[in-house]
Amino acid sequence: MIRNFPQTMVSAASLGKKAFLSDIAPTNGSDCKNCGGMGMLFLFVATDGPFLTPASPYRGDGKVSKWYGGKWWAGNTHSFTCPECQGEGRGS
């Protein structure tokens, strides 16, 4: 399916060098297919990297390190209310 992302999320993604969307796994047939029943969409916006080793907790800028695609990235996770279910987590 084509997923529905809020414009604020698209804007946040454009601020980083790379952005990674958290996986969704609907466990119930009534779960929203856009967010996996979480009611939220999570986007890790990587502003630094890639690195061979994790950069935090030695950083002092509040960014965290995440492992994506075989590399370490530094950035922050942003959450957005799912535009499909308005945060309910249930599909229509």
Q: Give me the least distance between CB of 2 and Zn ion, in Å please.
A: 14
Residue ranges binding Zn ion (CB under 5 A) = 32, 34-35, 82, 84-85
Q: Which is nearer to Zn ion, 54 or 87 (CB)?
A: 87
Q: What is the CA radius of gyration of the chain?
A: 15
Q: Give me the least distance between CB of 88 and Zn ion, in Å please.
A: 7
Query: Of the candidates 63, 75, 68, 57, which has an alpha carbon nearest to the alpha carbon of residue 23?
Result: 68
Q: Which is nearer to Zn ion, 36 or 49 (CB)?
A: 36
